[in-house]
Amino acid sequence: MLIRCPWCGERDHAEFTYGGDAAAARPADPDAMALDAWLGRIYTRDNPAGPHTELWQHSAGCRAWFKAVRDTVTHEVLATGDPQARLTPDGSS
Amino acid sequence: MVSQPLRPARPRDAGKPRVRQRYSGFQLLRQALRGHDGWAPAWRDADPKASYDVVIIGGGGHGLATAYYLAKEHGITNVAVLEKGWLGGGGTGRNTTIVRSNFMLEPNIQFTEWGMKLWESLSAELNFNLMFSQRGVLNLAHTEGQLDAFARRGNAMRLGGVDAELLSREEVARRAPLLDVSANARFPVVGGLLQPRGGVARHDAIAWGYARAADALGVDIVQNCEVTGIHREGGAVTGVDTTRGPIRAGKVAIAVAGNTSRLAGMAGIRTPIESHTLQAVVSEPLKPMLDTVVTTSAAHFYVSQTDKGELVFGGDLEGHNSYAARGNLPVVQSLASALTSLFPAASRLRMLRHWGGTVDMSMDGSPVIAKTPVGGLYLNGGWCYGGFKTTPASGWTFAHTVARDEPHPLNAPFTLERFETGRAIDEKGMGPRPAAH
């Protein structure tokens, strides 16, 4: 699997560490979050078969975290951007 | 004239009663003398009816076991098992065949040990040779601290009525003579925890054995029939849409580990599950060199030798969400290096084949066998690494849950709601990080 780091370009996935579903990221204002939303964020996942928005770290490279849209069926990386980037499911940014 | 699907001409097959042919040494000899053309198919290839009391989604070991126990233990025989591909083509046919009940937490001990007890008499019960071989499962300890933790787990197992033996380095060396236990080993061995009753079984046979026994009790097994939607009315399930037409159902039971999120999602249920790829490798066949199952958490690696002589081994997940059912080469490389570190004699061995399967990784490493918020809809999934060994217990408790609309005490802890109520069953204490379990 090849992953395109937004800063270093396309590299072998062995250089990267997976950070999981980007939707499960810590909210900006945790105090404002209802219990149900917390439970949903921590314990449940959409787990799609297809484009999945997720976090990766280029741990054996520039060490930066970034966001990626990757197809979980084909392993194709459709789009990458910085962690705050709004990436669309079809891969366009 | 309606066209019939082509099948090889087998004149003695025509008009055979739908009665299970009993397998025995005598039968084998008799068929051998007749050129083996007198065997009946092990189960009917059924076409789906318009309606069933219970529809089970997923024709792997768990779904087929559920069908068998529904019919046998609860007298519910108007049952269909719907399989999108072929029987046992998912996790059932892709695992490393290890059977064990060496857990520490009470719910896991009780549940997996019940599975072990079912395994012990299952070949005779199903009249199908599952090649269940209790050759022992040996966990290697590489530090004194790890050996202490093994003593703790072993004691918990024994308190729960499970067999466990703490082994010294010398005892480990006696059981696995080719294992590198030298002081210079990459992973020095200080001892181990053995479950003597653990072992391996033929993975396909569990699907075939349950399918044949369920079929004989009247269950319809429908292959090439993918569920594409789940009908609900007033908060209760009424049937399913499939690639072979809609089917009405009083109850629907999902047993599709790997794809649990997709199926549950059809009924609007969000699951505490991520799908990941797990790989396994088989080597070329060798003369007997390893007569037990050896595992190590130092390299996260497990290996056993098949009856054909191949070494079958596996290890870590790929580490990212995936439905691809195929992995990447770095994991294969790490598996090979773990094998050769533990067993230097394997260093010139060639790999015969490797494959990947999709596993449900749950948020606490334990499964879900439970009712759902939708009436008449039941969920069995989240098996992580450990679905194969518990196939009999899973089917047995799931059938109970479906038949009585309430869980058996053995599976009562494995609910969907346990995360909200703080009752997660986290054997490794990893927290809600699916890839870490």
pLDDT tens, position by position, B304-352: 999 999 999 999 999 999 999 999 999 999 999 999 999 999 999 999 9
Helices (H), B227-317: 260-266
Three-state secondary structure along B297-310?
CCCCEEEEECCCCE
- pLDDT value at B109 more than 80: yes
pTM for the structure as a whole = 0.93
Residue B250 phi, psi dihedral angles, 5° rounding: -70, -40
Q: What gap in Å lies between CA B101 and CA B120, rounded to an integer?
A: 12
Q: What is the mean pLDDT of chain B?
A: 94
- Measured over the CA atoms of residue B140, residue B144, residue B147 and residue B153, the dihedral's sign is negative
Amino acid occupying residue B189: V
Nearest-CB residue to A47 (from B273, B319, B435): B273
**Interface touch A21/B321, C-beta < 8 Å:** yes
Q: Confidence class of residue A90 from pLDDT cuts 50, 70 and 90?
A: low
Superfamily covering domain A2-26+37-81: Folate-binding superfamily (3.30.2270.10)
Residues 363-402 of B with CB under 8 A from A: 363
**Interface touch B320/A47, C-beta < 8 Å:** no
Assess B432–A contact: CB distance below 8 Å, yes or no. yes
Assess B334–A contact: CB distance below 8 Å, yes or no. no
Q: Which of B57, B398, B70 is nearest to B249 (CA)?
A: B57
* Residue with more model confidence, B94 or B20: B94
**Interface touch B261/A74, C-beta < 8 Å:** no
Supply B208's token pair: 């075939």
**How many alpha carbons fall within 13 Å on the CB side of residue B37?**
9
Q: Confidence class of residue B4 from pLDDT cuts 50, 70 and 90?
A: very low
Our CA-based measurement puts residue B322 at a distance from the nearest CA of chain A, in whole angstroms, of 4
* Residue with more model confidence, B437 or A25: B437
- Measured over the CA atoms of residue B23, residue B24, residue B26 and residue B32, the dihedral's sign is positive
Q: Report pLDDT for B210.
A: 97
Our CA-based measurement puts residue B272 at a distance from the nearest CA of chain A, in whole angstroms, of 4
Q: Report pLDDT for A91.
A: 58
Nearest-CB residue to A47 (from B274, B320, B432): B274
Say if CB B432 and CB B273 are below 8 A apart. no
**Interface touch B270/A45, C-beta < 8 Å:** yes
Q: What gap in Å lies between CA B63 and CA B302, rounded to an integer?
A: 26
Nearest-CB residue to A45 (from B273, B320, B328): B273
Query: Rounded mean pLDDT of B170-194?
Result: 96
Q: Which of B3, B260, B390, B195 is nearest to A45 (CA)?
A: B260
Sequence-separated (6 or more) residues with CB below 8 Å from residue B360 = B257, B258, B260, B261, B273, B274, B275, B367, B381, B382, B383, B384
* Tally of residues, chain B: 437
Nearest-CB residue to B320 (from A18, A44, A47): A18
Our CA-based measurement puts residue A39 at a distance from the nearest CA of chain B, in whole angstroms, of 6
B330 to chain A: which residues are within 8 Å by CB?
Answer: 13-14
Rg (CA), chain A: 14
Nearest-CB residue to A45 (from B274, B324, B330): B274
Nearest-CB residue to B323 (from A14, A42, A72): A72
- Measured over the CA atoms of residue B397, residue B402, residue B408 and residue B410, the dihedral's sign is positive
Our CA-based measurement puts residue A14 at a distance from the nearest CA of chain B, in whole angstroms, of 7
**Interface touch A39/B419, C-beta < 8 Å:** yes
Q: If you search the block for the tokens 């998912």, which residue do you land on?
A: B90
Q: Is B111 helix (H, G, I), strand (E, B) or coil?
A: helix
- pLDDT value at B17 more than 80: no
Say if CB A17 and CB B243 are below 8 A apart. no
* A-chain residue closest to B422, CA distance: A39
Q: Which of B254, B225, B250, B228 is nearest to B239 (CA)?
A: B250
**Interface touch A52/B321, C-beta < 8 Å:** yes
Q: What gap in Å lies between CA B181 and CA B28, rounded to an integer?
A: 45
Q: What gap in Å lies between CA B27 and CA B212, rounded to an integer?
A: 17
- pLDDT value at B292 more than 90: yes
* Tally of residues, chain A: 93
Query: Rounded mean pLDDT of B188-194?
Result: 97
